[in-house]
């Protein structure tokens, strides 16, 4: 479990170190919502870019998401099932007006699912594709609001979130 957290921290630090070499300002977003396991939290770090190979406006984001937890019954015990993911995504954007933007989301995530029962934790992790879509409203130059749906493979990987975004 420690290695994926180190990987996620490294990905976020790499993102921050490369923030000044491109088309957009580094932006931080945080959100809360629902998932297959309960209350979800999501933190994202990313920026806009343009590509000579791809048309339109794009963003990339590194993210860390928790999917909450739920109580489950095992053979003779009760336990708790939870999950989290760390990953990176490319987001094609479609401006809908002066301050409203629709976007898609396509990326790879390391998804970890855990079951804790009788004081023991059994965790499994794997790399999973992630797809999603969202809307972002830039209320002011320093504050945006976003709503997003995302599916990160597997039975615990769906989340719908509402959050805020600010430039760093």
- pLDDT tens for 118-136 read 778 888 889 999 999 999 9
Q: What is the model's pTM?
A: 0.78
Tokens of 43: 């933190």
Fold for 2-167, please state it: Porin (2.40.160)
pLDDT in tens, 19-38: 443 446 899 999 999 998 88
**Contact indicator for 37, 157 with CB cutoff of 8 Å:** no
DSSP type of residue 37: B
Domain ranges of the chain: 2-167
User: How do the residues of the chain divide into helix, strand and coil, expressed in percent and rounded to 5?
Assistant: 10, 70, 20
pLDDT in tens, 71-103: 877 677 788 888 899 999 999 999 998 899 999
């Amino acid at each position: 479990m420690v290695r994926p957290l180190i990987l996620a921290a490294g990905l976020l630090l790499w993102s921050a170190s490369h923030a000044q070499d491109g088309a957009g300002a580094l932006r931080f977003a945080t959100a809360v919502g629902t998932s297959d396991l309960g209350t979800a939290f999501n933190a994202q770090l990313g920026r806009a870019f343009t590509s000579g190979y791809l048309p339109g406006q794009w963003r990339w984001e590194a993210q860390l998401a928790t999917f909450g937890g739920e109580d489950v019954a095992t053979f003779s015990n009760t336990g708790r099932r939870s999950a989290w993911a760390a990953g990176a995504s490319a987001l094609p954007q479609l401006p809908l007006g002066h301050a409203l933007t629709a976007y898609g989301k396509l990326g790879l995530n390391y998804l970890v699912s855990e079951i804790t029962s009788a004081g023991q934790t059994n965790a499994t992790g794997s790399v999973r594709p992630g797809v999603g879509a969202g809307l972002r409203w830039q209320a002011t130059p320093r504050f945006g609001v976003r709503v997003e749906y995302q599916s990160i493979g597997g039975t615990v990987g769906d989340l719908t979130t509402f959050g805020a975004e600010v430039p760093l």
